[in-house]
Structure 1
Amino acid sequence: MEMKTALALGKAGVDTEAALRRLGGNTMLYEKVLIKFLDDQSFSEIGPALEQDDFETALKAAHTLKGVSANLGMNRLADACARIVSQIRAEKTEEAKTAYPELADAYNAVCAVLADEKADE
Structure 2
Amino acid sequence: MSRFEDEIAAAVDKLVAVEFTTLIESITPEAACKFQRLVSDLQRELRVMRQAQLTIVVDRTHQGRPMSYESPDEGRRIELSWDQANRVHQLTPLRLHQVISEDAAEFVPAVADKTASEARLPAPPYRMPIEY
TM-score, structure 2 normalization: 0.27
Please identify which structure carries the higher strand content.
Answer: 2
Higher helix content, 1 or 2: 1
| TM-score, scaled relative to structure 1 | 0.29
RCO higher in 1 or 2 (8 Å CA, sep ≥ 6)? 1
User: Which entry has the higher C-alpha Rg, 1 or 2?
Assistant: 2
